[in-house]
Amino acid sequence: MPEYNDALVQKIRSAAATIPGDFPVAVNYVNYAASLRKWSDLIENGSNDPATMARTVFQLQYPQGYIMVDAGMDRQVHHFFETESPQPFNDSAAAQVARAVQQAKLILITHEHGDHVAGAIRNTDVAIANKTILTTQQANTLVNDPQMPEIKLDENRKKQFIITDFESVLPVAPGVVLIKAPGHTKGEIMIYAKLQDGKEFIFAGDVSWTYKGITDKKQKPKSERKRVGENDEEVAQELAWLNERLVKDKMTILVSHDDVMLPQFAAQGIIGNRLQLK
């Protein structure tokens, strides 16, 4: 686990410039499903007001092609999250996500939970594994202790993926750097991206389930942290570091399950609200 400080920021920025080529030109996202919750389910000391936990994927658009950040899930995996009642699932949007994953140059997975990785495991295109990066921790979880049977990998299938291990940061494309961030899961990563216009983004995965968790440096409710098996100390350090990136560096933090700020970022033109498909 890296030390989350200003030195890490400089290390990330330097790493982003190590792979030659054009930087990305835009970030796009789509919300393809949701879980209807209360704020008290998503953030510590949250209210009992209704809240939506969005299910999203992101796309880093380059002049020639794009990279996907997370791969979505199909309706069968979505059923895992319908423990109490049916939850929204947009079949059309999910089909677009599946197609975007097929067309991507590279697929990055923030962590090994079904709503983030299933689209890379269960997509009918067998070539997807060959362009999907999994960390050693993510792959080991998917083999030995998957969140659900539908995303389990065996050792032979695991070998089809790009398996990598790194200590703190790893550049994977021009302007794009993986950041080790265990806590929510053992294999959680954050992803840094710098666009050609100089704008900086961090894809925070599930370090927080809400943008408010980062602005207020608040973790998920204790009951949810226990259920998921989070490491409170690690997540606290990551939240504080992300908060500093907002305040000190004016980076845009993209939270996978946020349903408040992502639409606002799209309305402001900071990110696109649909995937670019061929």
pLDDT tens digits, one per residue of 11-39: 999 999 999 999 999 999 999 999 999 99
Selected residue with higher pLDDT from 84 and 5: 5
What was the pLDDT predicted at 33? 98
Predicted confidence (pLDDT) at residue 7 exceeds the cutoff of 90: yes
Q: Rg of the Cα trace of the chain?
A: 17
What was the pLDDT predicted at 19? 98
Share of the chain above pLDDT 90, in %: 96
Q: According to CATH, what is the number of the domain 6-267?
A: 3.60.15.10
Q: Kindly report the number of other CB atoms within 10 A of residue 249's CB atom.
A: 12
What are the domain boundaries of the chain?
6-267
Q: At what angle do helices 114-121 and 136-144 cross, to 10 degrees?
A: 90
Mean pLDDT along residues 220-226: 96
CA atoms of 252 and 270, how far apart (whole Å): 9
What was the pLDDT predicted at 31? 98
pLDDT-derived band at 278 (thresholds 50, 70, 90) equals confident
**For 120-162, what is each residue's pLDDT tens digit?**
999 989 899 999 999 999 999 999 999 999 999 999 999 999 9
CA atoms of 23 and 197, how far apart (whole Å): 9
Query: In degrees, to the nearest 5, what angle opens at C-alpha 149 toward C-alphas 146 and 151?
Result: 65
Considering the chain, what is the average pLDDT of its residues? 97
What was the pLDDT predicted at 1? 82
Assess contact for 191 and 202: CB atoms under 8 A: yes
Burial of 230 (C-beta count, 10 Å sphere; 0-12/13-18/19+): buried
Share of the chain above pLDDT 70, in %: 100
Predicted confidence (pLDDT) at residue 171 exceeds the cutoff of 90: yes
CA atoms of 107 and 87, how far apart (whole Å): 26
Q: Shortest CA distance to 210 belongs to which of 83, 22, 51?
A: 51
Which residues pair with residue 202 across a beta bridge?
192, 253
Assess contact for 267 and 22: CB atoms under 8 A: no
DSSP letter at 86 equals -
pLDDT-derived band at 180 (thresholds 50, 70, 90) equals very high
What was the pLDDT predicted at 124? 86
Predicted confidence (pLDDT) at residue 83 exceeds the cutoff of 90: no
Q: How far is CA 39 from CA 48, 219, 260, 272, in A?
A: 6, 12, 12, 26
